[in-house]
């Protein structure tokens, strides 16, 4: 087994992603803190049972002034009410601009904590310690923060880069299998967008990832971090290239929002979204049958859903898709695959094509 470092460079900030096993047994894990720094560890009720004490003990052992704040677990708590709770805690306890928030958890905790860090006293530092595969390969990297609104996912947020990202693959050992599989959806997304060789590697090694083979997991996480860091370097604020990372998300976010973030995990919804987007590309004669089938078959191998929900009428997708952050003037923007390893941005797709794509994916 090995440890890896990836650096993320933006126009005015550089930070390190540390990737490895049992990182909290190493001495020099965190960058040097300043003398007056105070740290608040933010986590949720589930993660706190497994990892809160270990992280707190580590920080206390290196003489860091640290406290903790625990939020409820679940996507349905990724909202402004949770933001208000954390802000209230910081204000009541007189935390100042020397405060560092540490987000210990999955994408919900990472996004929410990053958002609070970006707005508290006009911006304080945040360190991401992702504990799910989905957050380790995607959500913790790149500085996109936010919370959900009942009318749309991640509609309230900021761009706020972390000071560091610490990825300890050991954290995945406590992950329920459905959460691990949910994260694999984002891994497959990267391969479809950027790298046909990585897609082939996933076809050959997906079973190793499902049984959490250590070297396969490390390779997979490092590969995704490398790809994400390059995208962030060229397009930090999602003006062009970074939009490609939303492949599957316009359809998938509509599904999550419609079911009020309760029926599907994020990766499960994105898996379905990638299938519908691939069908859209096929109907438009952008994607051939062979590549569409390879995409669906890999999702099947990963035990991810590949059929649109029967209890969500196709017409119900449209309001959410029109409110999507990528849409302009009511025109739906879609990221569609033209081959495995290559996607493109398409505007003004006819709504009848969108409805047909959804209908054909209801099995």
H or E element: which one contains 127?
Answer: strand 125-130
308 with 216: CB under 8 angstroms? no
**Catalytic site includes residue 329:** no
- Catalytic residue, candidates 78, 125, 186, 333: 186
- Catalytic residue, candidates 18, 38, 78, 144: 144
Q: 155: burial class by Cβ within 10 Å (0-12, 13-18, 19+)?
A: middle
280: closest CA among 310, 257, 300, 250? 250
H or E element: which one contains 335?
Answer: strand 334-339
- Catalytic residue, candidates 9, 149, 230, 242: 242
- Determine the Cα–Cα distance for residues 15 and 164; give it in Å rounded to an integer: 5
- Determine the Cα–Cα distance for residues 252 and 189; give it in Å rounded to an integer: 12
- Catalytic residue, candidates 238, 323, 325, 333: 238
**Catalytic site includes residue 294:** no
Identify the sign of the CA torsion 172, 174, 179, 180: positive
**Catalytic site includes residue 4:** no
Beta-ladder partners of 332: none
- Determine the Cα–Cα distance for residues 233 and 346; give it in Å rounded to an integer: 23
| Backbone φ and ψ of 344, nearest 5° | -135, 160
- Catalytic residue, candidates 236, 246, 256, 333: 246
- Catalytic residue, candidates 189, 222, 223, 249: 249
- Catalytic residue, candidates 18, 38, 222, 253: 253
DSSP conformational letter for 318: H
- Catalytic residue, candidates 27, 35, 92, 122: 122
- Determine the Cα–Cα distance for residues 57 and 337; give it in Å rounded to an integer: 46
**Catalytic site includes residue 249:** yes
- Determine the Cα–Cα distance for residues 350 and 117; give it in Å rounded to an integer: 40
Length of the chain: 363
**Catalytic site includes residue 228:** yes
**Catalytic site includes residue 268:** no
**Catalytic site includes residue 186:** yes
Q: 205: burial class by Cβ within 10 Å (0-12, 13-18, 19+)?
A: middle
Which residues are known catalytic residues? 122, 144, 186, 228, 238, 242, 246, 249, 253, 266
């Amino acid at each position: 087994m090995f440890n890896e470092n990836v650096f993320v460079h933006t126009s005015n900030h550089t930070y390190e992603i540390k990737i490895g096993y049992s990182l909290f047994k190493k001495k020099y894990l965190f960058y040097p803190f300043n003398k007056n720094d105070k740290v608040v560890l933010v986590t949720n009720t589930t993660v706190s049972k497994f990892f809160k004490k270990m992280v707190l003990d580590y920080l206390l052992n290196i003489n860091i002034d640290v406290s903790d704040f625990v939020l409820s677990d679940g996507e349905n708590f990724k909202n402004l009410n949770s933001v208000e709770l954390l802000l209230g805690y910081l204000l009541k306890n007189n935390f100042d601009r020397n405060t560092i928030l540490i987000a210990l958890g999955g994408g919900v905790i990472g996004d929410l904590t990053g958002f609070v860090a970006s707005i508290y006293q006009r911006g304080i530092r945040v360190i991401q310690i992702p504990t799910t595969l989905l957050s380790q390969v995607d959500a913790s990297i790149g500085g996109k923060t936010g919370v959900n609104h009942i009318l749309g996912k991640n509609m309230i947020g900021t761009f706020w880069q972390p000071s560091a990202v610490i990825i300890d693959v050991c954290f995945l050992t406590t992950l329920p299998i459905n959460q691990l599989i949910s994260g694999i959806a984002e891994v497959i997304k990267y391969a479809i967008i950027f790298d046909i060789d990585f897609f082939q590697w996933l076809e050959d090694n997906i079973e190793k990832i499902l049984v959490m083979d250590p070297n396969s997991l490390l390779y997979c996480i490092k590969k995704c971090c490398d790809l994400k860091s390059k995208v962030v370097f060229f397009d930090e604020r999602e003006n062009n290239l970074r939009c490609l990372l939303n492949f599957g998300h316009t359809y998938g976010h509509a599904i999550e929002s419609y079911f009020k973030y309760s029926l599907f995990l994020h990766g499960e919804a994105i898996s379905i979204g990638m299938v519908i987007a691939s069908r859209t590309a096929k109907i438009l004669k952008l994607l051939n049958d062979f590549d569409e089938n390879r995409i669906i078959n890999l999702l099947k191998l990963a035990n991810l859903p590949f059929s649109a929900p029967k209890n969500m009428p196709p017409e119900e997708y449209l309001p959410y898709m029109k409110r999507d952050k990528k849409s302009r003037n009511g025109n739906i923007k879609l990221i569609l695959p033209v081959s495995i390893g290559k996607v493109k941005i398409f505007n003004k797709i006819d709504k009848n094509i969108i409805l047909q794509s959804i209908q054909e994916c209801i099995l």
